[in-house]
Amino acid sequence: MGGRVLSTKQAAELARLQDIIPKTLLGHPPTFSKELATTYTEPPDGGFMAWAHTVAGHLIIFNAQGLNMSFGLFQAYYRNVMLPDTSPAQIAWIGSFQIFLLFFMSIVVSPLMDKGYFQVCFNGGSALVALAVLTTSFCTQWWQLLLVQGIMTGVGMGLAFASGSIILMTYFSKRIGLATGIAGAGSSTGGIVYPLMAEKLLFRIGYAWTVRAMALVVLLTLIPANIIARERPGHSGRGKITMDWSALRDIPFLLMVTGMFFAYWGIYFGFYYIATFGQSILHLSSTSSINLLIAMNAANLPGRFLPALISDACIGPLNTIIPSTFLAAMQIFFWVGVSSHSALLVVACLYGFSAAGLQSLYSATIYSFSPDPSKVGVRMAMVFAAIGLACLTGAPIGGAPIQRDNGGYLYAQFFAGGSLALGAGFLLAARVCKGGWLPIRV
């Protein structure tokens, strides 16, 4: 039986229709090309779900880093009211364990997420934070506070924070600086809200009920974050866990990790000790000293956005984080000469603004040192572990000279400022090693 001969135009139209009609309708199993798979796994870099995860990240960091950024008010209250016979360095271990575990838990979270346990980490961590803050209200002794406010809260923070940070970065590429800046601003808003609650409630309803009110805020803000957060389709982390051994031979990456360690060794000194300095050295009231911490965190908020916008639009995260860290070191050294309330308020605001660049862009900086997207989680865990160790020891080491200097802050300020300056120097070395002195985006 003879077949009908198609014209050239008809043959071309038939070929076009065969490309459009799904192959399942033509009796063939569907296949996916490498190009389609690549497109499917590319970050959307915007859209409703991407920005919704930025909001979820903001709420998580509001309760994780925001609570820790408020630890200065607990430091002052414990030192002057609840635990007057306990040294500043010993009290600082509570907040240091909290921030240490917040970062260090990434070593646990990263392989769990590779096995597909994102929801377990995120939901479980969120629930643990709320429970731990509530339990803190029943603590009255230092060891109880260390176990509950320090370790238990820190583990919950670490589970939720690390898993949320990794998932957020799968939704963005070019706008990652802005996304992480918006999410990171949660530490500033939390650092404003929780001290304000303490200022208004602490001497009216007492310590226990003030902390319980904070636990309620934690719960109410974490519920929407847990409704939103989920793994992005096409970017499931399920698979074999592999160590990125190439990172140990990557000199720019190692210099960056060293810089992050020294920078975070000193970064939280100001947030932990500004209130106690105001009370013990300048003899400010409790309200005035808490207001210093609120002002520092309020100035930290715009400092989260401006560096992120500059990073995305112009020069990149590493080029932005270096001057921010140098400026933060300068403010600590300026603090040495402070002798009045107004001068301390200015230093608090300038330091809060300067430190924000380091606090908001570390994730984007780590991402820029990860040439293989599949190893981002591993490299982030490595850097977070280094940052966690720095945070664990930084504030207690900074507080030890205060006790030895009979309440003086000079040597502690030199330690914090020197650590930040050294960290900025290593970050600069990483930038030169990676991109030279050329004015390029890094």
How far, in Å, CA of 315 to CA of 324, rounded? Answer: 13
How far, in Å, CA of 91 to CA of 143, rounded? Answer: 10
14 pLDDT above the threshold of 70: no
In contact, 172 and 363? CB cutoff 8 Å: no
Task: Average the pLDDT over each of 3-17, 45-59, 288-302 and give the range with the smallest value.
Answer: 3-17
In contact, 299 and 352? CB cutoff 8 Å: yes
How far, in Å, CA of 431 to CA of 419, rounded? Answer: 18
pLDDT category at 263 given cuts 50, 70, 90 is very high
How far, in Å, CA of 157 to CA of 64, rounded? Answer: 5
How far, in Å, CA of 191 to CA of 297, rounded? Answer: 6
Question: For 302-351, what is each residue's pLDDT tens digit?
Answer: 888 888 888 877 888 899 999 999 999 999 999 999 999 999 999 999 99
**Nearest Cα to Cα of residue 95 among 69, 128, 77:** 69
Rounded to whole angstroms, the maximal C-alpha distance in the chain is: 107
7 pLDDT above the threshold of 70: no
pLDDT at 399: 87
Question: For 393-423, what is each residue's pLDDT tens digit?
Answer: 998 998 889 888 888 999 999 999 999 999 9
In contact, 150 and 94? CB cutoff 8 Å: yes
pLDDT at 240: 56
Give one DSSP letter per residue of 188-241, joined into a string. Answer: HHHHHHHHHHHHHHHHHHHHHHHHHHHHHHHHHHHHHHHHH--PPTT----S--
DSSP state of 42: S
Question: For 345-401, what is each residue's pLDDT tens digit?
Answer: 999 999 999 998 888 888 788 888 877 766 777 788 888 889 989 999 998 998 889
Question: For 165-196, what is each residue's pLDDT tens digit?
Answer: 888 878 887 787 778 778 888 888 998 999 99
Task: Average the pLDDT over each of 9-13, 238-242, 356-360 and give the range with the smallest value.
Answer: 9-13
Question: For 213-225, what is each residue's pLDDT tens digit?
Answer: 999 999 999 999 9
How far, in Å, CA of 390 to CA of 405, rounded? Answer: 23
Q: Where does residue 440 fall: left (phi above 0), alpha (psi -120 to 50 degrees), or beta otherwise?
A: beta
